[in-house]
Structures are given as structure tokens and as C-alpha cells.
Amino acid sequence: MLQQILEVKKEEITKLDREFEGQPNQKKVSLYEAIANSSRKPALIAEVKKASPSKGVIKEHYVPSEIAASYEQGGAAAISVLTDQRFFRGHAADLVAVKQMVSLPVLRKDFIIDKVQIRESAHIGADAILLIAAAMDPGKLHELYEYAREENLDCLVEVHSVEELEGVLNVFTPKLIGINNRDLRTFKTDVTHTEAIARHIPDGILTVSESGIKTAEDLTFLREHNIDAILVGETLMRASSPGKGIQLLYGE
Ligand SMILES: O=P(O)(O)OC[C@@H](O)[C@@H](O)c1c[nH]c2ccccc12
């Protein structure tokens, strides 16, 4: 699946404008700080997502800015916005709309493999981007990471296995690491997967558990293992309201 997505991305990148003018000094809000300073533990990165390759359309009535505003009101520390069009039915414009609506840091969720996408992310108002270890070798990942830092963007470096994690740590030390609980070959999620990987992450790096987080029990498990943040999409998108979904998850 990932390979298929990356093929489409490479094609899309060739059509992206190479230059992005304007907003060069736009103030960025730190995702790292938002997680570190969150009063909720673990901190919540709430995701705005219409559809996914495994689930199809998740939410019919999809107004990203409205959903993000409810997340902010519900106490999220940051908002993640899926901007991939082909597989997740998102759009860069969704991020623009969300950024205008909230004051929280906004993470651009997409398949970023080229500097031009990083320049575009900074330009449309993202505060942070996702970099997926499975999508490139650690040297390339490091190069994009440094480039994003120059654009004042925080990076969430996503790994799924200990091998990927060690590959990254051999080259550099990211500030934020996301552990994807979803196995991209089978699409199955397993929250205990976070713990299996997190024990290999050195102190001082903030750890985010991503995908398949559904219940207050999941959250208790992650809290017990000192996970700093959770990234939740589908559970909140399917809740009767985003705010209610957050309350249920945090057992409030
Ligand atoms: O909807 P979920 O199961 O709560 O998952 C959210 C998020 O982790 C997931 O959307 C995700 C994690 N890594 C990604 C990489 C690309 C696209 C999407 C993702």
C-alpha cells in the first residue's frame, strides 16, 4: 500500500509549483512545546480525516475547520490534518482552513518525500510535518528533517518497527517520534505495539502513539507506559461529537 501511495506522490510532486512566495516569516507554533506543556497526559493530537484507504469514507459531513474548532474547545494540544487527496480525500486547503480557525499547532499529515512539499507545508500554514521512516532511507529522512527545521517546522518522525527506529537513531536524534500502531501490510492496529517499540526510545525524545486508539482503557495503558501524546483520528471522527469523543477517551 505504502509503495502505491508513494508512486502517486512522486507523480503529484512533479506538478507542484516549485516556488512558494509570501508568508516567509509566518510565526510557527511548536508541536513539541504543545505536547510537553499539555495539562492532559498523554497530550492529544486530534486528527481531521475524511477517509482512509482501509476504511473508505469515515465522515460524510466533513467541514475540517468546524471539527478542528471543536477539538480545540475539547482540550486537544494540537490538530493533525490529512492533506493527501487521492487516498485520504483531503486537501491542502483543509489545512489552510483549520489553521485560520485554531491557535493550536497544526500538523500536516501527508506523504512527504521531497523538499518542495516542505516548502509548500510552511507556506500553507503548517506548524509541523510528518516524516515516515518506511518511505525513505534514514539519510534522506535526516536531510528532510533538517530542511524542515530551517523552515521552522517541527517534525514527527514515524516508525513502525524497532529496525526503522534504530535506522533513524543511528543517523540522528529526532525530538519527536511517533509509533504507528497500524501495520501497513495488514492495516491491523494494536495499541500494545507502542510499548514494544517505546522501550527502545532513549529518554528526552517525546513519544507519540499513533492509530487505532479507541477506548479509555487504551489510554490508561499508554499513560502507564509514559507515552507523551496520542494521535487519534477515526475514533473522534465517528463520535457523536468531537468533544464527546475526547471526553469518552479521557474517561471524563
Ligand atoms: O484514525 P486513527 O486509527 O486514529 O489513526 C490516526 C493516524 O495515526 C493515522 O491517520 C496515520 C498514522 N500515520 C499515518 C501516515 C499517513 C496517513 C495517515 C496516518
pLDDT tens digits for 186-215? 889 999 999 999 999 999 999 999 999 999
- Determine if ligand 1 sits within 6 Å of the CB of residue 234: yes
Q: Count H helices, E strands: the chain? A: 11, 10
The position carrying cell 484507504 is: 53
Residue 152 has pLDDT above 70, yes or no: yes
- Determine if ligand 1 sits within 6 Å of the CB of residue 233: yes
Q: Chain-wide mean pLDDT for the chain?
A: 95
The confidence score (pLDDT) of residue 162 equals 98
Continuous segment of H or E residues that includes residue 147: helix 138-150
CA of 212 to the centre of ligand 1 (A): 8
- Determine if ligand 1 sits within 6 Å of the CB of residue 47: yes
Residue 126 has pLDDT above 80, yes or no: yes
The confidence score (pLDDT) of residue 109 equals 98
Q: Which atom of ligand 1 lies closest to the CA of 236?
A: 4
| C-beta of residue 222 within 8 angstroms of C-beta of residue 249 | no
- Determine if ligand 1 sits within 6 Å of the CB of residue 110: no
CA of 233 to the centre of ligand 1 (A): 7
- Determine if ligand 1 sits within 6 Å of the CB of residue 211: yes
Domains of the chain: 2-13+44-249 (3.20.20.70)
pTM over 0.80: yes
Residue 11 has pLDDT above 90, yes or no: yes
pLDDT tens digits for 77-118? 999 999 999 999 999 999 999 999 999 999 999 999 999 999
Residue 24 has pLDDT above 90, yes or no: no
Pocket test for ligand 1, best of 109, 188, 219 (most atoms within 8 A of CB): 109
CA of 82 to the centre of ligand 1 (A): 9
CA–CA separation, 79 and 72 (whole Å)? 8
The confidence score (pLDDT) of residue 19 equals 73
Q: pLDDT-based confidence at 20, cuts 50/70/90?
A: confident
Q: C-alpha distances in angstroms, 136 versus 162, 168, 224?
A: 16, 11, 32
pLDDT tens digits for 218-240? 999 999 999 999 999 999 999 99
| C-beta of residue 97 within 8 angstroms of C-beta of residue 121 | no
Residue 21 has pLDDT above 80, yes or no: no
Average pLDDT rounded to a whole number, residues 109-130: 96
The position carrying cell 486508539 is: 213
CA of 210 to the centre of ligand 1 (A): 6
Amino acid letter, residue 118: I
Average pLDDT rounded to a whole number, residues 32-58: 96
Ligand 1: residue whose CA is nearest its atom 18: 109
The confidence score (pLDDT) of residue 199 equals 97
Q: What percent of the chain has pLDDT over 90?
A: 92
CA–CA separation, 158 and 188 (whole Å)? 17
CA of 198 to the centre of ligand 1 (A): 18
